[in-house]
Amino acid sequence: MSEPQPPQPAEQTAAATAAAGRPTQEGTPVAPEQAVGAAQVGVIGLAVMGSNLARNLARHGHTVALYNRTRARTDALVEEHGHEGTFVTTGELDEFVGTLERPRRVIIMVQAGAGTDAVIDALLPHLEQGDIVVDGGNAHFEDTRRREARLREHGLHFVGAGISGGEVGALEGPSIMPGGSRESYEALGPILEDISAKVDGEPCCAYMGPDGAGHFVKMVHNGIEYADMQFIGEAYDLLRAAGLGTTDVAEVFRTWNTGDLESYLIEITAEVLEQVDARTDRPLVDVIEDAAGQKGTGRWTVQSALELGVPVNTIGESVFARATSSHPELREAARQALTGPDRTLEPADREQFVEQVRQALWSAKVVAYAQGLDQIRTASEAYGWDVDVAAVARIWRDGCIIRARLLERIRSEYAAHQLVTLLEAPSVREELARTQEGWRQVVAAAVTAGVPVPGFSAALAYVDSLRAERLPAALVQGQRDYFGAHTYRRTDDEGSFHTLWSGDRSEVRV
User: What residue is closest to ligand 6PG based on CB?
Assistant: 164
Per CB under 6 A, 421 contacts ligand 6PG: no
Residue among 176, 188, 35, 20 nearest 103 (CA): 188
Per CB under 6 A, 144 contacts ligand 6PG: no
Q: Which of 166, 311, 452, 478 binds ligand 6PG (CB under 6 A)?
A: 166
Work out how close the CB of 369 gets to ligand 6PG at its nearest, in angstroms, rounded to a whole number: 15
Per CB under 6 A, 91 contacts ligand 6PG: no
Give bridge partners of residue 108 from the DSSP assignment: 44, 135
Distance separating alpha carbons of residues 59 and 203, to the nearest angstrom: 16
Phi-psi region at 87: left, alpha or beta (left = phi > 0; alpha = psi -120 to 50): beta
Per CB under 6 A, 13 contacts ligand 6PG: no
Catalytic residue among 225, 234, 317, 413: 225
Helix (H, G, I), strand (E, B) or coil at 88: strand
Please report the DSSP string for 152-188 in residue order.
HHTT-EEEEEEEESHHHHHHH--EEEEBS-HHHHHHH
Work out how close the CB of 291 gets to ligand 6PG at its nearest, in angstroms, rounded to a whole number: 13
Stretch of residues binding ligand 6PG (CB under 6 A), selected from 162-170, 252-260, 422-430, 493-501: 162-170
Work out how close the CB of 143 gets to ligand 6PG at its nearest, in angstroms, rounded to a whole number: 16
Work out how close the CB of 167 gets to ligand 6PG at its nearest, in angstroms, rounded to a whole number: 9
Per CB under 6 A, 204 contacts ligand 6PG: no
Work out how close the CB of 400 gets to ligand 6PG at its nearest, in angstroms, rounded to a whole number: 6
Catalytic residue among 148, 193, 218, 431: 218
Helix (H, G, I), strand (E, B) or coil at 496: strand
Q: Measured between alpha carbons, how far apart are the two ends of the chain, in Å?
A: 60
Q: Which of residues 279-338 bind ligand 6PG (CB under 6 A)?
A: 293-295, 297-298
Residue among 385, 415, 396, 414 nearest 179 (CA): 385
| Residue 344 exposed, middle or buried by CB count within 10 Å (0-12, 13-18, 19+) | exposed
Per CB under 6 A, 477 contacts ligand 6PG: no
Q: Which of 30, 241, 302, 400 binds ligand 6PG (CB under 6 A)?
A: 400
Question: What is the pattern of x (binds ligand 6PG, CB under 6 A) and - over residues 43-72?
Answer: ------------------------------
Work out how close the CB of 222 gets to ligand 6PG at its nearest, in angstroms, rounded to a whole number: 5
Per CB under 6 A, 225 contacts ligand 6PG: yes
Kindly determine how many residues on this chain lie close enough to bind ligand 6PG according to the rule CB under 6 A.
Answer: 13
Question: What is the pattern of x (binds ligand 6PG, CB under 6 A) and - over residues 113-142?
Answer: -------------------------x----
How many CB atoms are closer than 10 A to CB 293? 7
Q: Report yes or no: 163 and 48 within 8 Å, Cβ to Cβ.
A: no
Is 431 noted as a catalytic residue in this protein? no
Q: Which residues of 207-245 are buried (b: 16+ CB within 10 A; e: fewer)?
A: bbbbbbbbbbbbbbbbbbbbbbbbbbbbbbbbbbbbebe
Reading across the β-sheet that carries 496-499, which strands appear in turn? 488-489, 496-499, 507-509
Torsion of CA 245, 247, 252, 254, to 10 degrees: 170
Q: Which of 32, 50, 98, 165 binds ligand 6PG (CB under 6 A)?
A: 165
Give bridge partners of residue 30 from the DSSP assignment: 88
Is 295 noted as a catalytic residue in this protein? no
Per CB under 6 A, 255 contacts ligand 6PG: no
Per CB under 6 A, 177 contacts ligand 6PG: no
Per CB under 6 A, 401 contacts ligand 6PG: yes
406-416 and 426-449 helices, crossing angle to 10°: 140
User: Is 253 or 300 the residue whose CB approaches ligand 6PG more closely?
Assistant: 300
Q: Which of 12, 144, 164, 196 binds ligand 6PG (CB under 6 A)?
A: 164
- Active site residue ranges: 218, 225
Footprint of ligand 6PG (CB under 6 A): 138, 164-166, 222, 225, 293-295, 297-298, 400-401
